[in-house]
Amino acid sequence: MLPTRAKGPYLAPLRREDTPELEPTYQDLIGFLGFVPNTELTMARMPRSTKALIDFVISIYGDSEVGQPMLMLCGLLASASAGCMYCSTHNANAASDLGVEAKKIAAVWEFESHPIFSERERAALNLAFKACQTPSGVSSGDFERMAKYFSETETTEVLMAVCHFGIFNRFNDSVAATIEPTPLAFCKAHLPAEHWQPGAHDE
Amino acid sequence: MKDIRSYFNPLHRDASPQLASAYRSAEDFYGYLPNYFLSMSRLPMAVEAYTTFLTELYDEVTLPTGLAHLISMQASIVAGCNYSIAHAAKNASDCGVTGEKIEALWQFETSQLYNARERAALAFATKSAHAPSTLDKPDFEQMLTQFSELEICEIIVIVAQTGFHNRWNDALATPLEAQPLSFARSHLPGNAWDPGKHA
């Protein structure tokens, strides 16, 4: 389990009205996730970077060929693999919002053996898990496995979704961002306690 | 073992004419077009958006740019990505950090070339780059005696952005370009850095 740290946030989120220039970005986030995450309210001290980062996120998920549910499951496993419980929570909740059943979300840690996952899904989750190890655990065989089920563009998309969480995992875990009520309630109800605990990110 | 690049080939620069402007921005930033932009180019919208994020971030940062690149280099050392280390080292050199100081980054806590403020920023960045993060509340309280909240935020965002660079390039074993490879071979300590799978 993760080492115990003081409850966050270590860097306070700004109020939404403090950065009116980010209002269009906040509206994008409400459309994407259903709420304005504490991540962006905290990063809002750097409004230009915050806007550009969210535009980058939307460019990955906006017209995904692989599909957002698969990318969210990859993001969940990637974030859990990197030890960021805040990002794990957001991905799990977003996958549920997109229609992925809760028992499948909760089974993501057993992706190699659990019958709920297809071989195609396993190939993507395997890449997600290994790409977030430090240093990277990815080797040639992982790309061979992807090539059986995914086009090169789709593989790029999966890897992009996983790697862009390198930004959010480090940011949110560093500031110990507080998880918002809706995703927190979902994860407390559905995720296995041996793999997920809100820790420093608890409300 | 077969080279993983043969399983995931970057597109040629000329294959993405719509990315000409993004590639020019990347060249302005790095002084050359890094290979990782070509390996992302099957998603042209993401390449454009990432390039904007990278350039906006370094433009918005109020910390000295040389220190910003040293922070990124330190985050890459923690992540063990030799490709990213070489990029950040070359960037730091290009904005005036001496080769001697870059080489001494592995000893920033004791080297005379680093002042107290730089040491605090780099020690904080080290904890921020660990997965999971090893930062705790007292680290922030201590930082606030020397840095503003904005500067602390900047350090974390630089480390965070580097998190993408580390994961992407370490997964793909992106080959290092001639300029950062040559700089790193001449200036980085051989016992701490080698191009490995990025040669």
Interface pTM, i.e. ipTM: 0.97
Q: Note the pTM of the prediction, 2 decimals.
A: 0.97
Q: What is the pLDDT of residue B39?
A: 92
Q: Considering chain B, what percentage of its residues have pLDDT values greater than 90?
A: 92
| Interface membership of A191 toward B (CB under 8 Å) | no
Could you report the per-residue pLDDT of A21-32, keeping only the tens digit for each? 999 999 999 999
Q: Which amino acid is at B127?
A: K
Chain B interface test: which of A151, A170, A173 (most B C-beta within 10 Å)? A170
Confidence band of B8 (pLDDT split at 50, 70, 90): low
Cis, bond preceding A9 (omega within 30 deg of 0): yes
Tell whether A25 is within 8 A of chain B (Cβ). Answer: no
What are the DSSP calls for B54-123, one per residue?
HHHHHHH--S-HHHHHHHHHHHHHHHT-HHHHHHHHHHHHHTT--HHHHHGGGGTTT-TTS-HHHHHHHH
Among residues B78, B174, B76, B50, the alpha carbon closest in space to that of A160 is found at B50
Q: For the residues A34-54, what does the mean pLDDT come to?
A: 98
What is the overall mean pLDDT for chain A? 96
pLDDT value at residue B3: 46
Residue to mutate among A60, A136, A162, with most B CBs inside 10 A, is A136
pLDDT band at A3 (very low <50, low <70, confident <90, very high): low
| DSSP assignment string, chain A | -PPP---S-SSPPPPGGG-GGGHHHHHHHHHHHSS--HHHHHHTTSHHHHHHHHHHHHHHHTT-SS-HHHHHHHHHHHHHHHT-HHHHHHHHHHHHHTT--HHHHHTGGGTTT-TTS-HHHHHHHHHHHHHTSSS----HHHHHHHHTT--HHHHHHHHHHHHHHHHHHHHHHHHTPPPPHHHHHHHHHHS-TTT---GGG--
Say what the pLDDT of residue B2 is: 38
**Average pLDDT, integer, range A36-65:** 97
**Chain B touched by A126 (CB under 8 Å):** no
Cα-based torsion angle of the residue sequence B150, B60, A49, A36 in order, rounded to the nearest 10 degrees: 40
Under the phi-then-psi rule, with left for phi > 0, alpha for psi from -120 to 50, and beta for the rest, what region is B61?
A: beta
* pLDDT tier, B199 (very low <50, low <70, confident <90, very high otherwise): confident
Q: What is the mean pLDDT of residues A31-44?
A: 97
For the segment A59-83, the average pLDDT, to the nearest whole number, is: 95
Q: Does B97 touch chain A if contact means CB atoms closer than 8 Å? A: no
Q: Are A171 and B162 in contact (CB under 8 A)?
A: no
Rounded CA separation A199/A186 (Å): 15
Please answer whether residues B66 and B95 qualify as being in contact, where contact means their C-beta atoms are separated by less than 8 angstroms: yes
Interval A136-169: pLDDT, tens: 999 989 999 999 999 999 999 999 999 999 999 9
* Whether pLDDT at A39 is above 90: yes
Q: Mind telling me how many Å the CA of A29 is from chain B's nearest CA?
A: 16
Neighbouring residues of A49: CB distance < 8 A, sequence distance ≥ 6: A43, B53, B56, B57, B60, B157
* Proportion of chain A above pLDDT 70, given as a percent: 99
Measure in Å the smallest separation between the Cα of A112 and chain B Cα atoms. 20
Predicted pLDDT at A4: 86
Q: Is the pLDDT of residue A49 over 80?
A: yes
Which chain A residues have a beta carbon less than 8 Å from that of B72?
none
How does residue A1 score in pLDDT terms, banded at 50, 70 and 90? low
Confidence (pLDDT) at B5? 52
Q: A2 pLDDT exceeds 90?
A: no
Per-residue confidence (pLDDT) for residue B9, from 0 to 100: 76
- Please, are residues A129 and A159 in contact by the beta-carbon 8 Å criterion? no
A128 touches chain B (CB under 8 A): no
Q: Do A143 and B7 touch (CB under 8 A)?
A: yes
Question: For residue B4, is pLDDT > 70?
Answer: no
Give yes or no for B12 touching A (CB within 8 A). Answer: no
CA B108, CA B87: separation in Å to the nearest integer? 19
pLDDT of residue A135: 86
